[in-house]
């Protein structure tokens, strides 16, 4: 009996026509049967947003030959929810991969990322999930050096599975990639500013700017790995409970 190919859901936040999703789709075709469900327009920085105040649409499209593809009017998380409930009709795919994002989602960026939130939603649905991002924002970014790593990491997830409640956050540096480093998320944040400008009607408006501030000199972090030309692989969980803080809170004497 011929073994059935794994079913693989491909999503992103840069939109269904982004170059990164094409590369990811092509690599996943080496591993299984691919279904693409992606936003009809860019959704970067949407985090785990979902659409609740207006109807959602998901329509089949023919962008690349011999690939089942759908464009969604909603967010990256909406794409995963609709894929599981309407396209897969409750049958879970064997793997959910998100990306390849144009720009890094390392360190604190994981909280803001639509790419990673789509992968998180996959994990919430008990689907082994991986988010992939690349340190190049250009639309003509060259993903060739990422290809073998994308294929190998996805293959290992299909082969070995992931711990329940976890997923993988994978980031690639530009240029030659030395290998893969298993990392922790670096302690870093954005020092943000809002640049004020004046529109033609003399009303102020604002552009978000800022710089990335690293408070972590460890050599086991995603930032260190990327700065030394390694792909960073961080296991992520959606249980945000600060378990280490529970004993302290249990010592408080609440006066109510």
Q: What is the pLDDT of residues 159-197, one digit of tens each?
A: 999 999 999 999 999 999 999 999 999 988 888 889 999
What pLDDT band is residue 206 in, cutting at 50, 70 and 90?
very high
Residue pLDDT, tens place only, 7-47? 999 999 999 999 999 999 999 999 999 999 999 988 888 88
Mean pLDDT calculated for residue range 127-138:
96
Q: What is the pTM of this model?
A: 0.93
Does residue 1 carry a pLDDT above 70?
no
- Give the C-alpha separation, 112 to 49, whole Å: 10
Q: Are 83 and 92 in contact (CB under 8 A)?
A: no
Answer yes or no: is pLDDT of 199 > 60.
yes
pLDDT in tens, 112-131: 999 999 999 999 999 999 99
The pLDDT assigned to 196 comes to: 93
User: According to the model, what pLDDT value does residue 215 have?
Assistant: 87
CA distances from 30 to 100, 113, 154 (A): 16, 27, 10
DSSP category for residue 29: T
Residues 43-56 have a mean pLDDT of 90
Mean pLDDT estimate for the chain: 94
Strand duo 7-11 + 68-72: pairing? unpaired
For position 65, what pLDDT does the model report?
A: 85
pLDDT value at 50 more than 70: yes
Q: What are phi and psi of 108, to 5 degrees?
A: -65, -20
Record: fold of 7-185+219-241: Stationary-phase Survival Protein Sure Homolog; Chain: A, (3.40.1210)
């Amino acid at each position: 009996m011929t073994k059935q190919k794994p079913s693989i859901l491909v999503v992103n936040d840069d939109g269904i026509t982004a170059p990164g999703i094409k590369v990811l789709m092509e690599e996943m075709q080496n591993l299984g049967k691919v279904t693409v469900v992606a936003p009809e327009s860019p959704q970067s920085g949407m985090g785990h947003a979902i659409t609740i105040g207006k109807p959602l649409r998901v329509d089949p499209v023919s962008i690349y030959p011999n690939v089942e593809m759908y464009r969604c009017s909603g967010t990256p998380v909406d794409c995963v929810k609709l894929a599981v409930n309407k396209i897969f009709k409750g049958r879970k795919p064997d793997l959910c991969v998100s990306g390849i994002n144009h720009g890094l989602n390392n360190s604190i960026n994981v909280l803001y990322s639509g790419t990673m939130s789509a992968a998180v939603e996959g994990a919430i649905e008990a689907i082994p999930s991986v988010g992939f991002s690349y340190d190049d924002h250009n639309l003509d970014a060259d993903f060739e050096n990422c290809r073998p790593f994308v294929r190998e990491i996805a293959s290992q997830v299909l082969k070995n599975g992931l711990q329940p409640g976890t997923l993988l956050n994978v980031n690639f540096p530009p240029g030659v990639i030395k290998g893969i480093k298993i990392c922790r998320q670096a302690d870093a944040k954005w020092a943000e500013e809002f640049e004020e400008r004046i529109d033609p009607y003399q009303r102020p408006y604002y552009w978000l700017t800022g710089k990335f501030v690293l408070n972590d000199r460890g050599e086991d972090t995603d930032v260190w790995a990327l700065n030394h030309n390694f792909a960073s692989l961080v296991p992520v969980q959606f249980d945000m409970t600060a378990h280490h803080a529970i004993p302290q809170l249990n010592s408080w004497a609440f006066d109510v």
